[in-house]
């Protein structure tokens, strides 16, 4: 597999992840946060269930758009700004 094909597969993951309004809202929330919020806080902000929030965060994580770090039983989420810079330069500024 060539580097170009690898990049194309990553692009497909990214665009599939961003093809949902809730996930775009998650990206919007994260782009405005100074600290890493808890995963449950993201779901609460959107008014969605814990399982629904986990589902959307997993898709974003699989596309490497967010990073989820665990501390004990608590999970914190942050944007992977490097992926946005590489594949979607300027996207975060439009939110």
Q: What does the DSSP 8-state code read for residue 48?
A: -
66 CB burial (10 A radius; 0-12, 13-18, 19+): buried
- d(Cα 95, Cα 91) in Å, to the nearest integer? 7
User: How confident is residue 23, by pLDDT bands cut at 50, 70 and 90?
Assistant: very high
CATH of 3-94, one of 3.10.20.600, 1.10.10.10, 3.30.70.260, 1.20.1260.120: 1.10.10.10
pLDDT in tens, 29-70: 999 988 899 999 999 999 999 899 999 999 999 999 999 999
| Spatial CA neighbour of 37 closest among 63, 12, 74, 4 | 74
Residue 7 is predicted with a pLDDT of: 85
């Amino acid at each position: 597999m060539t580097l170009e094909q690898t990049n194309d597969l990553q692009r497909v993951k990214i665009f599939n992840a961003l093809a949902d309004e809730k996930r775009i809202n998650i990206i919007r929330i994260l782009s405005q946060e100074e600290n890493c919020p808890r995963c449950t806080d993201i779901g609460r902000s959107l008014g969605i269930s814990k399982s629904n929030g986990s589902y959307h965060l997993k898709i974003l994580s699989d596309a490497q758009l967010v990073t989820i770090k665990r501390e004990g039983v608590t999970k914190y989420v942050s944007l992977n700004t490097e992926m946005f810079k590489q594949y979607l330069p300027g996207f975060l500024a439009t939110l």
